Structure 1
Amino acid sequence: LPGVGGIELTRRIHRQYPDIKVIILTFHEGDEYFVQAMRAGAAGYVVKGSSADELIRAIEAVRREGVYLDPAQTRRLVEQHLVEQRQAAFGVLSTREREVVGLLLEGLSNQEIADRLSIGITTVQTHRSHIMEKLDLNSFGELIRYAIRAGAIEP
């Protein structure tokens, strides 16, 4: 339909014919377009430039399971989610406190952190105290476990 974009067309098809499954084939690799397509009711999402085999897999997956997501798109979304999760886990901390946490998790001592950040050792200790208080932690071991659960470091 002239003047109607793929997202709006998907929305209309989904609304009028809910049993029809729409697979979006697009040049858009951005997450925002993907999210809009899924919200509009798309059952599949394939980026143009994908192989013919990939398109066939999408059609078969939608037919069998009702949904298909481009593997590269899915990987990007998962990676983005993990980054957001890490940021949220330490979101209550100031930028400097997050820097200190990162250096602590690298295994640096208070003195090494002070030298690296060009601040006094007392300031590092104050940052550590604020970090523990804000995250409601009582020991460095708890900070390590917190960071592992948040995905900030590997176990």
Structure 2
Amino acid sequence: MEQHQNSEADGLNPVGKVVKSEAEWRAQLDDLEYQVLRQAGTERPFTGEYTDTTTAGIYRCRACNTELFRSNQKFSSNCGWPSFFAPLAEDRVIYLHDESIPGRPRTEVRCAACDSHLGHVFAGEGYDTPTDLRYCINSVCLTLEEGDG
């Protein structure tokens, strides 16, 4: 993936690691949150809280509260999930090769702090964005802190 801004250069606190047992995650998250964040599931398209949201702010990981995306990095892709063209800083996410769908390799996006599944990133789909990337992120993985974004 293309390198984006660095957290320290952007005045953000470095990402710390969040480690919890599966029992602690189950106690913290509801069933859908657990299935998507901890078991790499997917919410149904066009059902998420933030799919069409245009509210300014910072999107955080629902599992650990790490800042992940800014609202000014969000765009309408009409894919059924919130779409962003870049993370808030590159150290906020990690990428894994995903071959869970035979013949359709993808790049999984996870929270760098707590290793929770967020969604996938796709390149070269012809979106008119600064990066030509679409971070397709499940709403259930996010919380929105309203404000400048």
How would you bin the TM-score normalised by the shorter chain? Answer: under 0.3
Which is helix-richer, 1 or 2?
Answer: 1
Which TM-score applies when normalising by structure 2? 0.20
Which TM-score applies when normalising by structure 1? 0.20
Which is strand-richer, 1 or 2?
Answer: 2
Q: Which has the higher contact order (CA 8 A, sep 6+)?
A: 2
